[in-house]
């Protein structure tokens, strides 16, 4: 959340900064701003509320000169998303852009106000510019001032600074929120992630937590918290990152939904020897026989992958799973015994709560395994065992292909756990592996229901409220379906365990509430159908998502039935996810909402 860029180059910085910000807009898009410093040292700033294109227009009419500059695209945490709160914040001679939350900002604001500073925004971030400016005014050099400033901050930050009067200088710091420095033909750059820097840089350095950096055109000096110089390795920018384009699709989300057969296949190929239908022995370097239970922690969509995976681990490996959302788990983590296995799931590998949970488990002496889509991310670097999802860059804010790749990875890991623990014999493991190998083909088949879903989306789109129900592995999928619909179309949607409906939410049901029933033909099918009948009896408009056998056995209650390809029950969650993604997508199109950048949301949630 919040995208940060900076550059010291030969050409005008503004177009490059805007270009890099476009690649970061998925991290926040409620306002944006730039500050540049020209060759004489004069600083200018442009900021705009709303999307980045507003800033672009502003810069077209009021151009910015200067080869050095910083930029920001914001997802507001403190203060409304208006121009005054947009970054960069300036306290002469300092301009700063910030990603994160300064938790002690009230105390800092009070202190600054008492010392005569005039704060012009409601943000926590502006305090950083003033703290830095006061230290420089007191005669400190930039490095000392920066170390002193961050010493006063509590919370999380990635920071980039530019300085009036210093056209060849930028500074940066990170704690909690990610930050990278890149080197390219256009100069030296700062960026929140490799995606921002990919077109400009071949090599990047990731700052570690606590690092500060001083950048000039010819050198980058990095120091740890104590001011001691440190070296951080330069890594090549992953090539696939530069491929983050929409292609012929109208939205990134549509492209990402349709990419699923390919990226699931790629992910499965990492864990399974497809030809031999066996596990790749080195892909999951965990011996699950060593553990009596595991914890599984994630946020949002990734948490729902955990909900499905808990079912797999408990059924295939008889391994109890303590599943929690990371924002709760991080405050429980200290209660877990040493020598246990903690697993984390995150698309970006930067999710603040999940990262904090990971660190709490590490401090508690646990072994850490992380399922992550960005192999260069902080979580990927801090984990003991990295279990990659190979979904490629996911730009649409609502997660689609990352989710199904998380499911594919967790399915493979659960099979491994069953083998390790002797709860899954070779023949049963082979059956599961063969099922998983079928997933890309069946997901591709599932995409063929799109024309029918476009029509059904017109039933759902006008609704004020919708319910999604499922049981067993389909419960997590129902929750994910409800989350997708609310994220994209702003329709209130509740996901519920089908058996829970009668304990409350059934009170919501009338003929204005579509109820989406996720019921593949499995052991729990008949139970879910009973729950479907209960809502049908109360007038609900039912959309049943099932397969051919389910459609035959379901009776007449559903107004619409979406028939998914027949699939082995193990991979039902992967197949059943597709129509829910398409339903949310087409409901959003019908309602005219912004599919790739839904209101109030941002990707890569780097604040608590
Ligand atoms: N707290 C700052 C930055 C917000 C942020 O990093 N969001 O992800 C603000 O509200 O401007």
Closest CA to 169 of 33, 32, 70: 70
Q: Any residues with CB less than 8 A from the CB of 250 and at least 6 apart, and which?
A: none
Listed by start position, the domains of the chain span 3-243, 250-424, 444-593
Ligand 1 atom closest to residue 99's alpha carbon, by position in its atom list: 6
For ligand 1, atom 11, which residue shows the shortest CA distance?
76
Could you tell me the distance, in angstroms and rounded to a whole number, from the CA of residue 94 to the centre of ligand 1?
18
For ligand 1, which residues put their CB under 6 angstroms from it? 1-2, 28, 74-79, 98-101, 123-125, 606-607
Q: What's the CA gap between 25 and 385, in Å, rounded?
A: 30
Fold of 444-593: Rossmann fold (3.40.50)
Could you tell me the distance, in angstroms and rounded to a whole number, from the CA of residue 127 to the centre of ligand 1?
13
Matching fold, domains 3-243 and 444-593: no
For ligand 1, atom 8, which residue shows the shortest CA distance?
1
Could you tell me the distance, in angstroms and rounded to a whole number, from the CA of residue 124 to the centre of ligand 1?
8
Q: Any residues with CB less than 8 A from the CB of 128 and at least 6 apart, and which?
A: 89, 96, 98, 102, 149, 153, 157, 159
Q: What's the CA gap between 549 and 411, in Å, rounded?
A: 24
Greater confidence (556 vs 604) lies with 556
| Mean pLDDT, the chain, whole residue set | 94
Question: How many helices and strands in the chain, by DSSP H and E?
Answer: 19, 26
Span 350-358, average pLDDT: 95
> What values do phi and psi take at 457, rounded to 5?
-60, -30
Ligand 1 atom closest to residue 177's alpha carbon, by position in its atom list: 6
Ligand 1 atom closest to residue 77's alpha carbon, by position in its atom list: 10
Per-residue pLDDT tens digits for 240-258: 555 567 878 999 999 999 9
Could you tell me the distance, in angstroms and rounded to a whole number, from the CA of residue 196 to the centre of ligand 1?
18
The residue to which tokens 């950096």 are assigned: 213
Ligand 1 atom closest to residue 79's alpha carbon, by position in its atom list: 10
- Residue 233, pLDDT score: 93
- Residue 601, pLDDT score: 87
Ligand 1 atom closest to residue 75's alpha carbon, by position in its atom list: 7
CATH superfamily ID and name for 250-424: Glucose-6-phosphate isomerase like protein; domain 1 (3.40.50.10490)
Mutate to test the pocket of ligand 1, among 109, 124, 193 (most ligand atoms within 8 A of CB): 124
- Residue 240, pLDDT score: 59
For ligand 1, atom 6, which residue shows the shortest CA distance?
99
Q: Does residue 162 have a cis peptide bond before it, meaning omega lies within 30 degrees of 0?
A: no
Taking the CA atoms of 414, 416, 421 and 427 in sequence, report the sign of the dihedral they define: positive
Quote the distance between the C-alpha of residue 438 and its chain's center: 27
**DSSP label at 386?**
E
* Residues that are catalytic: 2, 603
Q: At 332, is the pLDDT very low, low, confident or very high (cuts 50, 70, 90)?
A: confident
Tell me the CATH class for 3-243: alpha beta
Q: What's the CA gap between 325 and 167, in Å, rounded?
A: 45
Min mean pLDDT across 188-202, 410-424, 583-597 is at 188-202
Per-residue pLDDT tens digits for 61-96: 999 999 999 999 999 999 999 999 999 999 999 999
Mutate to test the pocket of ligand 1, among 24, 71, 78, 84 (most ligand atoms within 8 A of CB): 78
Per-residue pLDDT tens digits for 580-595: 999 999 999 999 999 9
Could you tell me the distance, in angstroms and rounded to a whole number, from the CA of residue 5 to the centre of ligand 1?
14
What SS3 state is found at 68? strand
- Residue 543, pLDDT score: 97
Q: Any residues with CB less than 8 A from the CB of 424 and at least 6 apart, and which?
A: 316, 317, 415, 418, 432
Could you tell me the distance, in angstroms and rounded to a whole number, from the CA of residue 79 to the centre of ligand 1?
9
């Amino acid at each position: 959340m919040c995208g940060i860029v900076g550059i010291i180059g030969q050409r005008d910085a503004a177009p490059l900064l805007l270009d890099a910000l476009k690649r970061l807009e998925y991290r926040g898009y409620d306002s944006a701003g730039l500050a540049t410093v020209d060759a004489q040292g004069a600083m200018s700033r442009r900021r705009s509320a709303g999307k980045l294109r507003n800033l672009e227009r502003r810069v077209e009419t009021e151009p910015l000169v200067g080869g050095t500059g910083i930029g920001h695209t914001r997802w507001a945490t403190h203060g409304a998303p208006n121009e005054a709160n947009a970054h960069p914040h300036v306290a002469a001679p300092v301009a700063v852009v910030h990603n994160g939350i300064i938790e002690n900002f009230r105390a800092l604001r009070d202190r600054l106000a008492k010392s005569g500073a005039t704060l012009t925004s409601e943000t926590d971030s502006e305090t950083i510019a003033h703290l830095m400016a006061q230290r420089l005014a007191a005669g400190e050099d930039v490095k000392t001032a920066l170390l002193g400033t961050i010493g006063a901050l509590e919370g999380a930050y990635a920071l980039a600074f530019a300085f009036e009067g210093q056209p060849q200088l930028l500074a940066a710091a990170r704690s909690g929120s990610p930050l990278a420095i890149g080197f390219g033909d256009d100069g030296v750059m700062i960026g929140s992630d490799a995606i921002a820097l990919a077109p400009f840089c071949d090599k990047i350095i990731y700052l570690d937590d606590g690092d500060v950096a001083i950048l000039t055109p010819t050198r980058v000096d990095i120091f740890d918290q104590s001011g001691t110089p440190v070296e951080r390795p330069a890594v090549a920018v992953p090539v696939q990152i530069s491929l983050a384009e929409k292609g012929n699709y109208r939205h990134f989300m549509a492209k990402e939904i349709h990419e699923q057969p390919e990226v699931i296949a790629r992910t499965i190929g990492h864990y399974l020897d497809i030809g031999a239908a066996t596990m790749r022995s080195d892909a999951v370097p965990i011996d699950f026989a060593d553990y009596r239970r595991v914890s599984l922690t994630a946020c949002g969509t990734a948490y729902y992958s955990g909900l499905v995976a808990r079912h797999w681990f408990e059924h295939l490996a008889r391994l109890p799973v303590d599943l929690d959302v990371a924002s709760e788990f991080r405050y429980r983590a200290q209660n877990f015994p040493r020598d246990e296995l903690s697993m984390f799931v995150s698309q970006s590998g930067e999710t603040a709560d999940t990262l904090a949970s990971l660190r709490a488990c590490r401090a508690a002496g646990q072994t850490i395994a992380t399922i992550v889509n960005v192999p260069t991310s902080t979580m990927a670097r801090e984990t003991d065992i990295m279990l990659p999802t190979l979904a490629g860059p996911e730009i649409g804010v609502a997660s689609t292909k990352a989710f199904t790749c998380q499911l594919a990875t967790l399915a493979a890991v659960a099979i491994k756990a069953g083998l390790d623990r002797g709860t899954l014999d070779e023949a049963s493991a082979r059956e599961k592996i063969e099922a998983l190998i079928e997933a890309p083909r069946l997901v591709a088949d599932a995409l063929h229901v799109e024309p029918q879903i476009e029509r059904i989306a017109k039933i759902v789109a006008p609704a004020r409220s919708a319910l999604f129900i499922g049981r067993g592995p389909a419960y997590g999928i129902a929750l994910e379906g409800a989350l997708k619909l609310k994220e994209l179309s702003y329709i209130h949607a509740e996901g519920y365990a089908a058996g829970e409906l009668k304990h409350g939410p059934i009170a919501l049901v009338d003929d204005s509430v579509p109820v989406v029933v996720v019921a593949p033909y499995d052991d729990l099918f008949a139970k879910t159908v009973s729950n479907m009948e209960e809502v049908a009896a109360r007038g609900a408009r039912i959309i049943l998502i099932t397969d051919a056998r389910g459609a035959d056995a379901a009776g007449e209650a559903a107004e619409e039935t979406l028939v998914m390809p027949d699939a082995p029950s193990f991979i039902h969650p992967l197949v059943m996810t597709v129509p829910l993604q398409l339903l949310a997508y087409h409901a959003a199109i019908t309602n005219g909402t912004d599919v790739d950048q839904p209101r109030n949301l941002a990707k890569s949630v780097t604040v608590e």
